[in-house]
Amino acid sequence: MSLYVKWPDANECQISSNIFGNRSRGFQGVIDAIDGCHVPCKQLIRNPHYYNRKRFHSIILQGVCDHRGKFIDCFIGLPGRMHDARVFRQSPLFENMSNAKLRFIPRQLYLIGDSAYPLMINLMTPYKDNGHLTVSQIRYNTKLSCIRSRIERSFALLKGKFRKLKYLDISDFDLGNKMIAAACTLHNFIIDGDNLNIDDEDYLEEQNLHEIEQEEEEVQEAVQKRIYYILQISYNY
């Protein structure tokens, strides 16, 4: 795994930053996207911690992917009930990012995540919608959501390619963690061999791709609707 799932060097970070910047038309300095993914698993007797908020038992995979959809960092094995922010704070990635002396990520570069993650110098998150966001804040959230979907596509591709991750019917969770790690490693191995393109929809399950696209369309529609009402209210006022 260490050969294929590894943090990018300075040159690779700059390439990701340039590509993410072009895709977002404004976000400069983005090198990777982070999120958590639930891998359904068998219920452990007398262990409720794996029963998550989505009402099934799961093992959490925290993944960070680059512009190609490759996993450059994986943290595997915490129970499904745990919140994404808590998983992140227990991961080696958080420890490295919090160490000022280490300078794990240059200050001008950063990851992007959803609102479950803490805002940090090297981790940008959306504004929390309290009903009073400005137009600029809404646009920021929309652009961030569009490029953050890269990690969602990576997870969809991972589960679509390695269907064992749809449900781990095993009692040995150490083995389960190794199976998840193996899938992430093979995912990168295939991408490195140019045999898999995350932007090629044929590799994604139709249901997962449809859900992602539908979610993005709903966000765009809601943002436009909110902007319209903000402008109407301002005009009438």
| Average pLDDT per 10 consecutive residues for the chain, totaling 237 residues | 93 90 81 95 79 89 95 95 95 93 88 93 89 86 86 93 92 92 96 75 46 52 56 54
Which SS3 state, helix, strand or coil, does residue 141 take? helix
The pLDDT of residue 145: 86
| Tokens describing residue 82 | 């745990």
Sheet holding 58-65, edge to edge: 71-79, 58-65, 30-40, 110-112, 123-124
The pLDDT of residue 201: 47
The pLDDT of residue 78: 94
Residue 2: Cβ-neighbour burial (10 angstroms; 0-12, 13-18, 19+):
exposed
What's the CA gap between 113 and 123, in Å, rounded? 7
